Amino acid sequence: MSVSTSPRPSAPALPGSWVDHHLLAGAPDQPCLHLGRSIPRGELRDLVASRQHRLIEAGLTTGGTVTLCLPPSLDYVAVLLAAWRLGAQVSLLDHRLTTAEVERALDRLAPQLVVTGASVGSTAMRGYAEVEPVLTVRPAGRPAATGHGLIQLSSGSTGPSKVIARTPEDLVRELERYDRLPDYPRRGERLVLLASAVHVLGLVGGLLQSLHAGVELHLPERLTGPGILRAVAAGERPTTLLGVPFYAELLAALPGDERPTRLRRMIVAGEPTRPGLAGAFTERFGVPLGTMFGMTELGMIATDLTGRQHPAVAPAHGMELRVVDGELLIAAAASPYLGLADPSRWHDGWLHTRDAATLDPATGLVTVLGRLDSQVAIGGLKVDLTEVERTIAELPGVTEAVVVHQDGIQAYLALDGTTADAVRERLTVELAAYKRPRQLHVLPALPRTTTGKTLRDPAALHRAAAAHAAR
């Protein structure tokens, strides 16, 4: 089965020109960013020009390579746009990585220039920081070997990250897909960004699309429930929240009945939402919880921004989807991977997502069922770990759950108002004996990646459980 919409539109091909045309155009006094104060478009353009001059002084040229490892900040935005404006290839690293992780990533990426920054004050639970960029030349760095403009590392939620590359033309096509979503923020509206602007949801769906569409992007001062609501209430325009399901859980659990009048909807992506979360969020705030399905490799792929089709999503304009042997495949003209990569992930013009899915031929709606590698054999019987995880997550008192296979089925849980024994007893009713986890590991909270996704790497989960037991 497959579904497709019209062919992809064209995009500017000149190095750097797309930044001025798609991201920086507009009236100088138009508000475009809000990081503690409103920043008009003219001020952002001036700062981009200043940072571009500094990059040139450091030796960066068209076709050069630069890695950014900056916290969310005005300078992160300015340096990113300045490097792209020069026609450089930009790789992004999350500022929360350890020094060892950064060094390993730099060894893989081999940039000619690295931009870091010392934050002013603590960044814990803050939506943005004030930084002074520090430029470091790496003599062993290499110029770009391809015409890609953006290099990202996958989240690594299920294991080692992959090096993923996208061209400026591909980014522009994604912005045009966002333009065609009737319920996505429009010119004159606001978007409060809760997702990391280093990773694809926050970067393209948040930062770039807001600049492109004339939407004011607001980064909260504090990434707490009350702090997010204060950010929503800080403006007069209709406001959308964009983040991962973790923040929807956080907001839905807030006590009281405060409902910001400007809140239009929340949109989440990055991982499946817990059963019942959409209803709980709408009951608490009176607005929809929309969902998006996407990948670092391709960006936004399918959406349900109204919350009425859940768990199904509709393919975005220009995205061609197909389900073959139960696996979701997406048309991609070229491999998005750089360096060594599993050749089975992309071939013959199709990206293999490794996600199980169904596709309704009548409506074109796709329902992502979970990872194909979540199916394991127990005593000769097939077990879908996604089904086990969903069953556990729906039990009363279970606030988080991840199920993996390592020396048998293992469940990692966070509980509130119940016990592991109570969960184990209930599972004797809900699941056949061969599907039940061999062990339940209870943690105060499940470990997450820097993007806010629940960590699914069995070895990392085991280490977290062992560390908690030792404490």
pLDDT at residue number 371: 77
Amino acid at 399: T
pLDDT at residue number 441: 94
Paired with 39 in beta bridges are 33
pTM for the whole structure: 0.82
Residues in the chain predicted with pLDDT less than 70, given as ranges, are 1-14, 119-124, 155-161, 340-341, 379-381, 450-451
pLDDT at residue number 160: 58
Structure tokens at 88: 């450089």
Q: Quick count: other Cβ atoms within 10 Å of Cβ 154?
A: 21
In whole angstroms, give the CA distance from residue 394 to residue 254: 20
Domains in the chain, ordered, with CATH? 15-166 (3.40.50.980), 167-319 (3.40.50.12780), 379-470 (3.30.300.30)
Burial of 23-49, coded b for 16+ CB within 10 Å and e otherwise, reads bbebeeeebbbbbeeebbbebbbebbe
Phi, psi of 377 (to 5 degrees): -105, 125
Cβ–Cβ under 8 Å, residues 191 and 217 = yes
Structure tokens at 303: 């959406």
pLDDT at residue number 11: 43
pLDDT at residue number 383: 81
Paired with 217 in beta bridges are 33, 191
pLDDT at residue number 126: 85
367-404 pLDDT tens trace: 998 777 777 777 666 788 888 988 898 899 999 899 99
H or E stretch at 323? strand 321-324
Structure tokens at 247: 């923040």
Antiparallel, parallel or unpaired: β 150-153 and 89-92: parallel
In whole angstroms, give the CA distance from residue 408 to residue 439: 8
